[in-house]
């Protein structure tokens, strides 16, 4: 991007991974047979929602608002990963593509968990780490 002014989300690795997840989820959805369009539609929705929610969270002002949107984004990434798992186990699409979507969903989820922890109170972070 040549513009010196960026939105906050553009510098986040979680956003870049979520964009790749979105593209691969779309590719996977396109590969799913016509009779299974509900699964394809869920993959498209979850894949599209993930980067949008990351962007929304990054552009929020308060830490609790950020954490809430990142939590929603992580849930959408998890849904995308589960959709890829369903497509893989039911042999509805190429195994390698489904595994790639699942891998990207896991990576996005991991990055988002870090952003959630960063923007949550210390008690949440300690509970997540299993210290409470």
CATH of residue 83's domain is 1.20.1440.60
pLDDT confidence band for 5 (50 / 70 / 90): confident
Mean pLDDT of 43-57: 98
Domain membership flag for residue 84: yes
Q: Supply the pLDDT for residue 92.
A: 95
Task: State which residues form the domain around 43.
Answer: 33-122
Q: Supply the pLDDT for residue 3.
A: 63
Domain membership flag for residue 131: no
Domain membership flag for residue 76: yes
Domain membership flag for residue 95: yes
Is a pLDDT exceeding 60 seen at residue 1? Answer: no
Domain membership flag for residue 89: yes
10-33 tens-digit pLDDT:
999 999 999 999 999 999 999 999
- Gap between the Cα atoms of 3 and 130, Å rounded: 43
Domain membership flag for residue 60: yes
Domain membership flag for residue 2: no
56-115 tens-digit pLDDT:
999 999 999 999 999 999 999 999 999 999 999 999 999 999 999 999 999 999 999 999
The CA distances from residue 67 to 14, 49, 82, 86, 130, in Å, are 13, 16, 22, 28, 19
Mean pLDDT of 111-120: 93
Domain membership flag for residue 100: yes
Q: Supply the pLDDT for residue 16.
A: 98
- Gap between the Cα atoms of 65 and 71, Å rounded: 10
For the chain, the domain total comes to 1
pLDDT confidence band for 123 (50 / 70 / 90): confident
């Amino acid at each position: 991007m040549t513009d010196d002014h960026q939105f906050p989300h553009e510098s986040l690795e979680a956003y870049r991974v979520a964009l790749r997840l979105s593209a691969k989820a779309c590719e996977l959805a396109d590969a799913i047979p016509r009779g299974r369009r509900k699964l394809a539609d869920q993959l498209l929705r979850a894949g599209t929602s993930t980067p949008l929610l990351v962007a929304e969270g990054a552009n929020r002002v308060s830490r609790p608002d950020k954490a809430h949107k990142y939590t929603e984004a992580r849930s959408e990434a998890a849904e995308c990963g589960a959709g890829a798992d369903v497509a893989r186990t039911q042999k509805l699409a190429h195994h390698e593509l489904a595994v790639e979507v699942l891998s990207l969903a896991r990576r996005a989820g991991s990055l988002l968990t870090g952003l959630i922890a960063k923007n949550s109170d210390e008690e949440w972070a300690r509970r997540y780490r299993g210290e409470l």
